[in-house]
Structure 1
Amino acid sequence: MGELQSLLESHGVMLVFLNVLAEQAGLPVPAVPMLLVAGALGMREGGPELGAVLAAVILACLIADTAWYFAGKRLGQPMLRTICRVSISPDSCIRQTQSLYLRVGPRSLVFAKLLPGAGALSTAMAGMTATPFPLFLFYDALGALVWAGGALLIGVVFTDFVEVILRAFSTYGPMAVTVVAAAFAAFVAWKFVRRVRLLRRTRRVPRMSVGELEERRLGDRFPLVLDVRSEVAERIPGALAVDLNAPLDLLSAHPVTTEIVVYCACPNEVSAAILAERLKSAGYANTWALAGGFDEWKRLHGVAPHTASGPEAAAALAPRVKGPGPLL
């Protein structure tokens, strides 16, 4: 850690720029610790100039986030599915991110970097929803300023505490690094085990293929179709949008023999399977999660999945059953 202090004192702005650029690009290299140290060292003579550090952070964020913006604009929903598939976060991250961005719009970029896992997904959503590029740049730069400015300010305020940590790392370098690495590895392992257990549990929920759903819709056994995604413009015709935690007594008008198909837009149909699991426990035995979700239904109809935002999304909303909030 002594080497980090020396490097920051001599090449602080460039190191912070590269660290933030790597983190915002998606690499597992947290930038906040370096920002805290830069804030503390910025109060010393010979330390990095805080204004230059802040400008470097904003530039790095704009470069990385612009790439996410155009990736979202070009690739759309499949890219979000890929991000969530490789993430250690629950598979409901697509639904939650869509819901946040479609409720708040580009203003969500101001605080997205403060929420774990929401930064890249929110910038991708900006591209997917065709947010004007100048507006995106404005709110993204403001968000970078809030995020980096807060970290630098904490480093400045707690300069003495940060210096104590730096001295401890210098004295107990290998041991301290081992402890931090072990704690991080334990956290990742815990998140991974939780996800594996969730996937194993939800795989037991039966799936209905899109072809089978279409056969029922075209026949005389039209099932009740539930959409557990966020406030998006498009959905399967006749589907009822519900919150994942909506009280089940809202379905009391439907007999327990009703055939119910639940769909989402998340990898492994996790959100849909969770609601289907609840419905089965409540006595709705003829309940399925839709295999492949909304994207598979769109592919069957020969249209690439996409989403809309703002007034377009609000105008197209079907009646929505409100619940107390997301489960995951």
Structure 2
Amino acid sequence: MNELQQLNESHGLLLVFVNVLLEQIGLPVPAYPTLIVTGALAMQSKPLLGAGVLVAMFACLIADTLWYFAGKRYGGVLLKSICKISLSQDTCIRQGLNVYDRVGPRAMLLSKFLPGAGALVTTVAGMNATPFALFMRYSLAGSFIWAGSALLLGMLFTDAIIPLLGWLTGYLPLAIGSVLLALGLFIGWKYWKRRRLMKRTSKVPRITVPQLLALRDTDDMPLIIDVRPKFHTAVVEGIPGALSISLEEPLDPWLDQLSDVDMVFYCACPNELSAALLAEKLRARGLTRGKALIGGLDAWREAHPDQDIPGQAATA
């Protein structure tokens, strides 16, 4: 245990900086446990506590600033890249945009407590052209809350953590095996949930972009509905003339308007999941004439980037 204390005193701040920076950049190397251990060990060297908070905040600020400017420049393309490594990639973009749409930059106050959410929220802040000074304030505040809470937990439970660290030092292979087993079970559970959702939504009828375009200027032209969050529709232009109904808003105001029309739903998400979910919700209310656009907005742009569809209502 003395060796661990000496290591913390000599290289603890460097370890905190590297671990936090790598996690906030997006690598799967959790830094919160490191901060908790640092807080517990620092009770015997209290100047490390204040330094630990500052170092962690500095590492967070570097990563947040990189994501902010990357989001400002690359926007939706970067969001998709972030969500490709998510265990819930089908809902990752929608959830990130919805959170920022509801609470704005205040989302950065707590986003670091959720794996991957820190990068997602700061990227959306850049996409939304949040003023940099405002972004900095919330980034620093969120970093302080996140890092400070971990160090405080370590301080409060130091009497339990120090003996545990001593036990883990003696049974390191068992400890590593337990962590890997827990991680494997978590990943398996998330994968099972995703497959179950995909199987359920696969029952929603689909339509391709060429099939949709073949219906234009005919009596069978469906109403096109943009399922993306309101914030995303304001930032990234969708199919011209589409009606905007996000997945989270109440459906009651729309039921009369949609009761006797064919509908095509589209989103900007993997497997057109949000579109299928809205179609599923409407089917539960008795509106069964809806289909999800295969490939969503990306497929539309690839097939006909300048193509317009006339005759759509922009508002309810």
**TM-score of Structure 1 vs Structure 2, range by shorter chain:** 0.7 to 0.9
Report SS of the residue matched to 1:88.
Answer: coil
What are the ranges of 5 or more consecutive residues in structure 1 without an aligned counterpart? Answer: 304-317, 321-328
Q: Secondary structure at the match of 2:305?
A: coil
- The 1-side partners of 2:299 and 2:106 are apart by 31
Hey, what does 1:178 align to over in structure 2? 177
| Residues 190-218 of structure 1: per-residue CA shift (max 9 Å, x gap) | 11222233234434433222343344344
Deviates more, 1:245-254 or 1:48-57: 245-254
In structure 2, relative to structure 1, the CA distance for the partners of 1:120 and 1:3 (3 Å cut) is: farther
Aligned to 2:101: 102
Relative distance call for 1:72 and 1:152 in structure 2 (3 A) is same
Aligned to 1:262: 265
Q: What do the CA deviations read for 1:230-266 (whole angstroms, capped 9, x no partner)?
A: 123144314141434745795245446x311111111
What aligned pairs does 1:236-251 form with structure 2 within 5 A after superposition? 236=239, 237-244=241-248, 246-247=250-251, 250-251=254-255
Question: Relative to structure 1, is the Cα distance of residues 76 and 150 closer, same or farther in structure 2, using a 3 angstrom cutoff?
Answer: same
- Aligned partner of 2:15: which letter? L
CA separation in 1, counterparts of 2:72 and 2:4? 38
Instruction: Give deviations 1:125-162, integer Å, cap 9, x for gaps.
Output: 11111222232222211111111011111111111121
- CA distance in structure 2 between the partners assigned to 1:6 and 1:154 by the alignment: 21
Structure 2 equivalent of residue 192 of structure 1? 191
What is the count of residue pairs matched by the alignment?
A: 304
Give the match for residue 208 of structure 2: 209
- The aligned amino acid for 1:231 is K
What SS is found at the alignment partner of 1:243? coil
Match of 1:296 among 288, 299, 302: 299
CA RMSD of aligned residues (A): 2.6
Q: Residue 29 of structure 1 aligns to which amino acid in structure 2?
A: V
User: Offset at 1:13?
Assistant: 0.3
8 Å CA contact 2:243, 2:315 repeated in 1:
no
The alignment partner of 2:229 has SS state of coil
Q: TM-score, normalised by structure 2?
A: 0.85
Structure 2 residue aligned with 1:42: 42
Distance 1:6 1:248 in 2: 64
Q: Could you tell me which residue of structure 2 aligns to residue 119 of structure 1?
A: 118
Residue 7 of structure 2 corresponds to which residue in structure 1?
7
**Residue identity in the other structure for 1:251:** L
Q: Distance in 1 between matches of 2:299 and 2:7?
A: 51
Q: Could you tell me which amino acid in structure 2 is paired with residue 196 of structure 1? A: R
Q: Compared with structure 1, are the counterparts of its residues 3 and 190 closer, same or farther at alpha carbon in structure 2 (3 Å cutoff)?
A: farther
Contact 2:228 2:244 in 1 (8 A): no
- Name the one with the larger helix percent: 2
* d(CA) in 1 for partners of 2:133, 2:254: 43
**1:2 offset after TM fit, Å?**
8.1
2:65 is paired with a residue whose SS is helix
Partner SS state of residue 222, structure 1: coil
How far residue 94 of structure 1 moved from its aligned partner, in angstroms, is: 0.9
Contact kept? 1:13, 1:48, Cα under 8 Å: no
Q: Secondary structure, in 3 states, of the residue corresponding to 2:245?
A: strand
Unaligned runs of 5+ in 2: 307-313
> Where in structure 2 are the equivalents of 1:45-56 lying within 5 Å?
45=45, 49-56=48-55
